[in-house]
Structure 1
C-alpha cells in the first residue's frame, strides 16, 4: 500500500476542496455547522475566498483524496492557530489519515509562527479527546456551546491546545 501524503491546496485548487468539503458535509452532517445544501449553491468567488482565508490540507494516497483539514487563525488569541474541518472518508478511517492531517496542520501553524494550535472537540466525545491527547493536545478552560445542533441543547466543546514550541508532543520539528 502506498504512503499517505498531505499537501496544502492552492487557491486554484478550489474545486478539489469544494468537492471534498461537500462530500464531508453529506457524509457527516452532524459534524459541521454548515450544510451541504447551503454550500453547494455557492459559486467560484465564495470558494476562492475560502481558500485564501485558511490553509486547506488534502490527504491523498495514490492520487485519491482521503481527507481534509484546515488551519486558520484564532481571533481570540495572538500566536494561536486552530485546526478545524477535519474529516476522513469512512473507508480510510483508522488508517492514519487523520493523524497525518493533524501533524501537517501543526507543522503549517508552526511555519506560520504560531506558538499554539487549538482543536475544538465535543466534551462528550471521548474518542476525539483521546485522539487529540495522543498528539499532546491538552484541554483548556475555553468552552463554547456546540453549534452543530443548537446552542441551547447544553452540549459543549472544549478547546484543546498543542504547544508548538519546546516539547512538541510527538510533532516532528521543522
Structure 2
C-alpha cells in the first residue's frame, strides 16, 4: 500500500478528474447512473462546476490514476453529514489497498470539514462492497432506496451505511 498516493484535486485539475471518471464509466458501466457517452459531451464549465460541488480524490501509483472517490454533503436532515460516492478502482489495482486509502482519505477530509458522519450508499446485493464498507467501520442503517444505476430494473436496493467521524461513535444521522 505504500506505493499508493492519494491527492485531492482542485478545480484546475478538472481534466485529471474527467479522465479517471470516464475510465470508470467505461470499465464499470453497471455501477453508475451516468454513461461515458453522456459525460464525454460535458464541457469544461460543467467539469469545473463538479469540482467545486464536491471534493474529488484520486489514487495514483507510479503517476498513473488507479482509483477515484468523491466526498460531498449528504442529502439528509442532519446538516453536517458528508457523503462518499463514485468509488472506483482500476481492475488491475483491486485488492491492493487502493479503495482503503481512498476511503480513509475521504473520511479524513470529511472530518476536517467538520462533518460528523460519512454516508455511503451500497447495493444490498453487493456482498463484497457491504463487507468492504463494514471492514472500514461503516455500519448499516434502516435507510434504503432503489438502485439508481441504469442497468438495474429488478427492484434492487441500496443501503445507507454510516461511518461516525466525530466524538459520537455509533450515532447515526437522520437521513
CA shift digits 1:21-51 (9 cap, x unpaired): 0000000000000000000011100100000
SS at match of 1:78: coil
Could you say which residue in structure 2 is the equivalent of 1:126?
A: 127
- Structure 2 gaps of 5+ residues are 171-175
User: Deviation digits for residues 86-143 of structure 1, max 9, x if unmatched?
Assistant: 0011101110000000000100100010000000000111111110000110001111
Aligned length: 169
1:10 equivalent in structure 2: 10
The residue aligned with 2:66 is 66
**Structure 1 SS opposite 2:19:** helix
Name the TM-score, length of structure 1 as normaliser: 0.92
1:14-163 alignment runs, 5 A limit = 14-76=14-76, 77-149=78-150, 153-163=154-164
Supply the distance in 2 between the matched residues of 1:168 and 1:6 (Cα, whole angstroms). Answer: 26
SS in 1 for 2:84: strand
Structure 1 residue 154: deviation in Å? 1.1
Q: Give the drift of 1:75.
A: 2.3
Q: Runs in 1 of length 4+ with deviation above 2 angstroms? A: 149-153, 166-169
CA distance in 2 between counterparts of 1:155 and 1:88 reads 23
Q: Does the 8 A contact of 1:121 with 1:129 survive in 2?
A: yes
SS for the counterpart of 2:109 is helix
CA contact under 8 A between 1:145 and 1:151: conserved in structure 2?
A: no
Paired residues of 1:139 and 1:160 also in contact (CA < 8 A): yes
Q: Check conservation: 1:2, 1:62, Cα contact below 8 A.
A: no
Structure 1 residue aligned with 2:173: none
Q: How far is 1:149 from its partner?
A: 3.1
CA distance in 2, matches of 1:152, 1:34: 15
